[in-house]
A and B are shown apart, each in its own frame.
Chain A
Amino acid sequence: MLDSVQISQPLVEMDNIVKTFGGIHAVEGVSTDLYSGEVVGVLGHNGAGKSCLMRILSGAMRANSGEIRVNGQTVDMKSPQDAREFGIETIYQTLALANHLDAPANLFMGRELKTRFGNLDDKRMLSEATEAIRQLNPNFKNLRDPVARLSGGQRQVIAIARAIYFQAKILIMDEPTAALGPSETAMVADLIVRLKNEGIGIYLISHDMHDVFELCDRVMVMNKGRNVGAFRIEDVNKDDVLSLIIKGTLPDSWEPRGGAE
């Protein structure tokens, strides 16, 4: 018990977040938290508000109301830079890549490496990017091609490499494996486990039940902008989660499945 008191300070707390677009209620009073060294799955049907909630945490979008705390401190995320200062890195669902630039230019976009004279250090950016990307995909060859010419999977690898290169404390992964083949997906799964063991807190948005049950410690299900349930992964099975995603409620027969304890 003593242990759990010491680690009881969450990395991130989002409290009563609301986001509307005109009449659309994208996020309606959602609260969630994330601890160091755990993976929290964010699930829900298309348009449930998962990306909006995560974009609010990564500073890409401003909430109408609600509070965000990082390490217990209330913060105001005005821009993605603000979020980065708190160690929050994001793999966006849209990948956020500049199509005309090559992989190193994208990896270091906004945080370009410079030489002593303040010039761009393209050589170092290339070698660093090569190393970061080859960790995820050893077959990645065309690093100097504009990313427009790369495959969906290669583009996703660049987006992932960018998020982990800068040593995040909090990582948001919005459907990071949507375009990946089986071996790359497995590589990302390994990566998630490794990062988690390093004490990084991860929000993982995924539609892949297998991945979710494999990787997540907890899940949170969103339905029409609301948080309809947050559980430790041992307490639910796939049917429970699917019911939450689709209907927004647990099956009538549900009782905590009770893993350990």
Chain B
Amino acid sequence: MSSKAPEQKRKFRFLPEGTSLHKLSAVATLLVLIFAFSFTSPAFFTVNNGLTVLLQTSVIGLLAIGMTMVIITGGIDLSVGSILALAGVIAGLTIKIGLPVAPAMALGVFTGAACGFVNGMVIAKMRITPFVATLGMMLIARGIALQLTGAAPISRLGEAFGVLGNGALFRIVEMQDNGFPKVIFPGIPYPAILLLVMAVLGWYLLQKRQFGRHIFSVGSNEEAARLSGVNVDRTKIWAYTTSGALAGIAGMVLMSRLVTVQPNEGVMYELDAIAASVIGGASLMGGVGSISGSMIGAFIIGVLRNGLNMAGTSAFIQMIIIGIVVIGAVYIDQIRNKN
């Protein structure tokens, strides 16, 4: 039993050793980006812009948590951008017919979960590949969102609707003598807090619960998982439902920040979420991935977008750059798998 001690010291190591190396290089990339952008635009490295990045990243980050779970099962979820919009539309419409904000938002999140559940059922029971199933849901959810609203935004949703996206904890504002408010401490934005809470929950689910272990088992070797008594279908259905619910939450945050429901919001957000997960070390082959990695990935995407904006890069050039980053990240993933 003498050799037992060193083994137990190396904890939480059922993921490949490359994972920590990968995370380290992702953090380094993030720092390099921040450093570079601080030079190109002086307004980048400021508290206010930091908060903006945090806000922008919270949406990608929320999507990336669910996406990571789905990717670890060996699947993919292309529908989160559309689900986000549909969830927002449901919340907006129910507020318009008189529902208070909180239950309306809960209904929005539930809508997201329901869409994810349908994804899971189609994939597990109808045996449609995740790519096709969620591509279908991408069109269906977007179609419903546009149909319900006639493609028009829903505005005048009231101040309470904007709290989640624009409010902050510990915000300190002082009235000045000249009658203008002065922000002493901008506070911690609610979306950032929400992201943190969800990330910790996601980490707990993946690393500490049977559900998470089954997600890894299914993605690593589906047949082995089935033979070992893992309920493969149920695991997949719950993974997609979680992803859908998180897309719903992301939708609430985004629409609340705009204080308007835009049925055509969130187009191609799934690609940002997938990129965040893959940059963070998740493998599209399944069986590998982590929430912490995906959060770093989300911040890399968020900083990249924000920095390019600040530097005055056009939206078209941004698309090109993000496209290259996604291909690069998947390429690295492949090289990693070969070793």
| B16 engages A100 (CB within 8 Å) | yes
Contact with B along A129-160 (1 / 0, CB 8 A): 01000000000010111101000000000000
| A80 engages B213 (CB within 8 Å) | no
Among A90, A100, A105, A144, which residue has its beta carbon within 8 angstroms of that of B7? A144
A–B Cβ pairs within 8 angstroms, 23 of them: A80-B229, A84-B229, A96-B228, A97-B224, A98-B221, A100-B216, A100-B288, A101-B216, A102-B14, A105-B14, A105-B216, A109-B213, A109-B224, A110-B214, A110-B217, A112-B213, A118-B209, A120-B212, A144-B7, A145-B13, A146-B14, A146-B16, A162-B228
Closest to A55 in B: B227
| A101 engages B14 (CB within 8 Å) | yes
Complex Cα gap A143–B10 (Å):
11
| A101 engages B227 (CB within 8 Å) | no
B338 beta carbon closer than 8 Å to chain A: no
Which A residues, 71 to 107, have Cβ-Cβ distances below 8 Å to chain B? 79-81, 84, 90, 92, 94-102, 105
| B13 engages A144 (CB within 8 Å) | yes
A111 beta carbon closer than 8 Å to chain B: yes
B8 beta carbon closer than 8 Å to chain A: yes
Which B residues, 191 to 215, have Cβ-Cβ distances below 8 Å to chain A? 207-210, 212-214
| A102 engages B4 (CB within 8 Å) | no
| B229 engages A98 (CB within 8 Å) | no
Complex Cα gap A18–B223 (Å):
23
Among A95, A96, A111, A146, which residue has its beta carbon within 8 angstroms of that of B15? A146
A114 beta carbon closer than 8 Å to chain B: yes
A-B pairs with lowest CB-CB distance, top 7: A110-B229, A98-B220, A100-B287, A110-B228, A96-B224, A109-B228, A100-B220
B225 beta carbon closer than 8 Å to chain A: yes
B178 beta carbon closer than 8 Å to chain A: no
Assess A109 versus B225: contact at CB under 8 Å? Given A100-B14, A100-B288, A119-B208.
yes
Complex Cα gap A80–B227 (Å):
6
| A114 engages B210 (CB within 8 Å) | yes
Residues of B within 8 A of A130 (CB): 4, 7
Residues of B within 8 A of A94 (CB): 223-224
Complex Cα gap A130–B16 (Å):
20
| A112 engages B210 (CB within 8 Å) | yes
B87 beta carbon closer than 8 Å to chain A: no
User: How many residues of B sit at the interface, in one of the four size bands?
Assistant: 20 to 34
Residues of B within 8 A of A105 (CB): 14, 213, 216-217
B300 beta carbon closer than 8 Å to chain A: no
**Which of B208, B212, B213, B227 has the largest count of A CB atoms less than 10 A from its CB?**
B227
A258 to chain B, nearest CB (A): 41
B176 beta carbon closer than 8 Å to chain A: no
Residues of A within 8 A of B288 (CB): 100
Residues of A within 8 A of B212 (CB): 120
Assess A109 versus B230: contact at CB under 8 Å? Given A101-B217, A118-B209.
yes
Closest to A145 in B: B13
Residues of B within 8 A of A164 (CB): none
| A120 engages B10 (CB within 8 Å) | no
Complex Cα gap A81–B228 (Å):
8
| B13 engages A99 (CB within 8 Å) | no
Closest to A90 in B: B227
Residues of A within 8 A of B224 (CB): 94-98, 109
B3 beta carbon closer than 8 Å to chain A: yes
Closest to B214 in A: A110
Residues of B within 8 A of A141 (CB): 3, 7
Among A80, A84, A100, A120, which residue has its beta carbon within 8 angstroms of that of B209? A120
Residues of A within 8 A of B171 (CB): none
| A143 engages B7 (CB within 8 Å) | yes
Complex Cα gap A136–B210 (Å):
27
Residues of B within 8 A of A101 (CB): 14, 213, 216-217, 220, 287
A188 beta carbon closer than 8 Å to chain B: no
Complex Cα gap A99–B15 (Å):
10
Assess A110 versus B225: contact at CB under 8 Å? Given A100-B220, A120-B213.
yes
Closest to A159 in B: B224
Complex Cα gap A84–B13 (Å):
29
Residues of B within 8 A of A80 (CB): 226-229
| B208 engages A120 (CB within 8 Å) | yes
Complex Cα gap A94–B226 (Å):
13
| A98 engages B216 (CB within 8 Å) | yes
Residues of A within 8 A of B227 (CB): 58, 60, 80, 90, 92, 96
Assess A109 versus B10: contact at CB under 8 Å? Given A80-B228, A141-B3.
no
| B14 engages A111 (CB within 8 Å) | no
A126 beta carbon closer than 8 Å to chain B: yes
| B14 engages A110 (CB within 8 Å) | no
Complex Cα gap A143–B227 (Å):
22
Complex Cα gap A153–B58 (Å):
47
Assess A144 versus B10: contact at CB under 8 Å? Given A97-B221, A98-B221.
yes
Assess A98 versus B217: contact at CB under 8 Å? Given A109-B230, A144-B7.
yes
Complex Cα gap A162–B224 (Å):
12
Residues of B within 8 A of A84 (CB): 229
A78 to chain B, nearest CB (A): 12
Among A81, A98, A145, which residue has its beta carbon within 8 angstroms of that of B225? A98
